[in-house]
A and B are shown apart, each in its own frame.
Chain A
């Protein structure tokens, strides 16, 4: 259980964007509605050069959220101690406002598969995930947030619902939660449940950041919709509606626009941030 010595720092309840180097000059010139930035931890683990120089400059101007994509918190094996040390080094020098990681695994038997792979929700995996989060929070000396995944399939062995699993993780470890509303929509469509019910079941009191992104549409073997999280397209209207539903229950939260592949020109990304700003303006704390 991680006991924060002080009330943990938080991002402002404003739109943020996933930082892409091609937007550096636009962001410096006029960030518009964008009040904070998120970076992928693993892209800033080199020794120097442009990525580090840009991040040093950006952190003077924006609150920074560091989002890890490679720790494999849901992995069956132990956490990679070399990677834990790299995360600690980054968090130590950058002192970001928040740090988050995924409810997923990506490394097994020494191979990193560069994708967020799913795990069953059982008492065993709950214990394992909590142990790994404890280890991470102790190593970096701060609270982390855990993000819900996009699901394409279900494990027959699961005994807990995802919201119950996440509620228990937050309770046992003291971690915060990062609610990806697009992932909820994708998973609910793929596994045929009501996304609004998921949000109602979700421990919103632990949510300290929201993610929004685009997805692709495909079909499964039986012609049923199969949505695929891609972060490579505009956010669809039903996801914006689910955001409104969420904010009405949770109150305002920091909202990130994620666009990682086929990254658009700045005005298109900024328009998504403006739309998030409009959604935030409709709710009060």
Chain B
């Protein structure tokens, strides 16, 4: 009786299935709950990995709910690679589509933020520009500069008070108000930090990352939000060591 790995794997992920035949204890009796050790190891280790990767989601829905939902997710989406640091890339969309949690519409965006925090944590190290590099640019040329960004810098838009939800749960921040909040993740050294982007900030950032000059990006941002504050955005980027090169385009 050969036990194939297809059979073994399938029985591990589905505890409703019979345990494979051909596995025994020392007396030659069927392995029984000895096989369940593997079922348990797999389910617990993957659930733990998700709980470690999505602590805000666990806090929002409670550990018991989280473990039950993780159990469903891990069975339909087991890791595709041995790099557990990337496990759960499909969890945000899974949460968005999970009918029983449809009333918590922000969960998918919160999970995106937690995934991005992990991605930023493991991103490549790149030396930032000198603190005075921006100040050294002649004012008349400021509109012509372009930047490159550290790979640890990640940004996204949300119709939810995304940063406030994260801060309320993870940093004892104030109760979130019903506003839309775009978020940028900065990693000054080794610890990624989410920041709320001011109005127009996401537009400016996206434009800069696409290679537009500061002048072009600022104009687009002001068109999107009249209150756009370029100085505040640049200060935030500099404080987070987000910029890795500055070039005056000619």
Name A's B-contacting residues (CB within 8 A): 42-43, 45-53, 69-72, 75-77, 80, 82-83, 86, 105-115, 117-118, 120, 152-157, 190-193, 218, 220-222, 224, 226, 228
Contact = CB atoms under 8 A, between A and B. Distances in A.
A112 B34 contact: no
Contact of B82 (A42, A47, A108, A156): A42
B24 interface: yes
A49 B23 contact: no
Nearest to B48: A261
Given A112-B79, A220-B34, 7 more contacts: A48-B122, A49-B190, A80-B81, A108-B8, A153-B35, A155-B22, A156-B23
A49 B125 CA distance: 6
Given A45-B85, A155-B23, A220 B41 contact: no
A192 B26 contact: yes
Contacts of A155: 3, 22-24
B94 to A, nearest CB: 16
B95 interface: no
A182 to B, nearest CB: 15
B190 A50 contact: yes
A226 B230 CA distance: 64
Contacts of B22: 155-157
Contact of A42 (B25, B83, B123, B125): B83
Contacts, number: 147
Contact of A111 (B4, B27, B35, B78): B78
A53 B24 contact: no
| Max chain B Cβ within 10 angstroms of own Cβ: one of A72, A82, A114, A117 | A114
Interface in B21-64: 22-29, 31-35, 37-38, 41-42, 45-46, 49
A47 B123 contact: yes
Given A112-B81, A221-B33, A156 B24 contact: yes
Contacts of A105: 5
Given A115-B45, A153-B34, A226-B37, A48 B124 contact: yes
Given A111-B80, A113-B42, A156-B23, A49 B49 contact: no
Given A48-B123, A76-B5, A228-B37, A113 B84 contact: no
6 nearest A-B pairs in the assembled complex, by CB-CB distance: A70-B82, A46-B122, A192-B26, A50-B190, A47-B124, A153-B31
Contact of A115 (B42, B85, B151): B42
B32 A220 contact: yes
27 contacts: A42-B83, A42-B85, A47-B122, A53-B125, A80-B81, A83-B81, A108-B5, A109-B6, A109-B9, A111-B79, A112-B82, A113-B13, A113-B78, A114-B46, A115-B45, A120-B3, A152-B34, A152-B35, A153-B24, A153-B34, A154-B24, A154-B31, A191-B25, A224-B25, A226-B34, A226-B37, A228-B37
A228 B45 CA distance: 14
B121 interface: yes
B2 interface: yes
A24 B13 CA distance: 36
A228 B33 CA distance: 12
Contacts of B84: 42, 114
A117 B2 contact: no
A114 B28 CA distance: 28
Contacts of B37: 152, 218, 226, 228
A49 B121 contact: yes
Contacts of B6: 108-109
A172 B1 CA distance: 27
A220 B29 CA distance: 11
A73 to B, nearest CB: 12
Contact of B38 (A82, A109, A112, A152): A152
Contact of B34 (A43, A47, A190): A190
A191 B82 contact: no
A61 B29 CA distance: 51
B115 interface: no
A83 B173 CA distance: 41
B33 to A, nearest CB: 5
B217 interface: no
A114 B49 contact: yes
Contacts of A154: 23-26, 31
Given A115-B38, A228-B37, A75 B32 contact: no
